[in-house]
Structure 1
C-alpha cells in the first residue's frame, strides 16, 4: 500500500522517530552521530525543536505506522542567521524510494515559508548520498558546494554537501525585524 499522510509530529511519535533515527545512525551517513541517542535524549531534542517554534512533521501509513519524519531547526545559532532554517529528513528503510522523503521536504518548505523563514539550508552527509541530493534538487534547492572529508564514519572520510532554497521572498525584500520566525531566535 502506497497511501500515507503527513501530519504534525507529537511527543507520542518520538519512540518511532527514535527507531528510524537509530537505523540512520547505525547504517547511514545522513547523520554524523556515531551512537544512537537514548529515547530521553530524542524526547529532549523533539521538545527543543518544537519549543523553539520550528515545524516537526511525520509521514504515516494508513495503519498509523511511522514511515519517516522531517523537521526544521536553526541553521546556526548566531542572531544574524535567524531567517535561515536547516532541514532534516529521515525515512524508515522500507519507505525509501516511494516519494515520501520529497513529500516531507516539500511540506516542510511550505511550513517554514509560512513561518517567515527566508532561506532553507540542506546539509547532506555524503556526496554519494544521491537519494537525499536528488530530493533536494527536485524541491528546487541549488548546490552551494562540498565540504570535502569533513566527517569520518564507518572507517572513511565523508564529504558534506551544502544546498540552499530561497523561501518566500528570499532576499528580494528585507524581513520584518519585529516578527522573527521561531521563538529561540527572538533574542
Structure 2
C-alpha cells in the first residue's frame, strides 16, 4: 500500500536510509540524521510536495518524495525527486509504484519538470552501481548533465548526473502550482 508519510514512520525510514548513508555512495551524507532532523525534513517537504511510503504488513519497504529544485520563483514548476527502497526489496517493482503515485500527485499540483540528482561512477565499485540511472531511464527520464568528481566519500571521488522528465506541456500562461496537502485534501473529499 502507498500512503502519505506519518511522523511515526521515522524510525522505519531511518532504518532504510541509514543503509544508504553508511554503506553506499548513493547519498553523499556521511552521518545518519537524527530522528529530529528527519522530522524537520519531512515537515518542510510536506508544506509543498508529496512524501509517500510503500508499506506491506506494517513494514515500510520504500519511500519517495519531491522537494524544491531551486529556491527561486521561476523554478516553481520543477522539483527534485528522491527515492529509497529497502535494500532487501529491490527489483520487486516498489520503486516504480512509488514513482507512478508521486508523479500522479505532482501532475495534479501542476508540476511540469521532475529532476533526479544521481550519484554516478564510470566503473561500478562496492559502494555505487548504475542501478539508479537505469531505473530512471526505465521511468522515462533522460540524462541532461554531469558534474565530474564533485562528491568525496569512502576515500574516492564520485560524479553526479542530472536526469529529467517532463510531466506535461509547457504552456503559456502557466497554471499556478498547488500545494500538495491542498491537492490531497481535495482528492480525499471527493
TM-score by length of 2: 0.86
How far the C-alpha of 1:108 sits from its partner, in A, is 1.1
Q: 1:117-156 maps to which residues of 2 (within 5 A)?
A: 117-127=111-121, 128=124, 129-156=129-156
Q: Is the aligned partner of 1:46 residue 2:42?
A: yes
Q: Specify the alignment match of 1:182 in structure 2.
A: 179
Cα distance, 1:79 vs structure 2: 1.5
Alignment check: 8 A CA contact 1:83 1:119 kept: yes
Partner of residue 15 from structure 2, selected from 19, 22, 25: 19
The aligned residue for residue 55 of structure 1 is 50
Distance 2:178 2:161 in 1: 25
Q: SS in structure 2 opposite 1:43? A: helix
**Which residue does the alignment assign to 1:97?**
91
Contact 1:8 1:56 in 2 (8 A): yes
Query: RMSD of aligned C-alpha atoms?
Result: 1.5
Find the aligned partners of 1:42 and 1:114 in 2 and give their Cα distance. 26
Match of 2:60 among 43, 61, 66: 66
Question: What's the offset of the Cα at 1:173?
Answer: 4.0
Write out per-residue CA displacement over residues 53-106 of structure 1, whole angstroms, 9 at most, x where no aligned residue. Answer: 200001111x11110100000011121111101000001111112121122122
- Runs of 5+ unmatched residues, structure 2: 181-190
Correspondences of 1:77-96 after superposition (within 5 Å): 77-96=71-90
1:10 is matched with which residue?
6
The 3 A distance-change label for structure 1 pair 130 and 102 is farther
CA deviation string 1:144-172 (max 9, x = no partner): 02111011111111110110001122x24
User: Which ranges in structure 1 are unaligned for 5 or more consecutive residues?
Assistant: none
Aligned mates of 2:160, 2:35 — CA distance in 1: 27
CA distance in 2 between partners of 1:142 and 1:110 (Å): 19
Q: Tell me the number of residue pairs that the alignment of Structure 1 and Structure 2 aligns.
A: 174
Query: 1:152 is paired with a residue of what secondary structure?
Result: strand
- TM-score, scaled to structure 1: 0.87
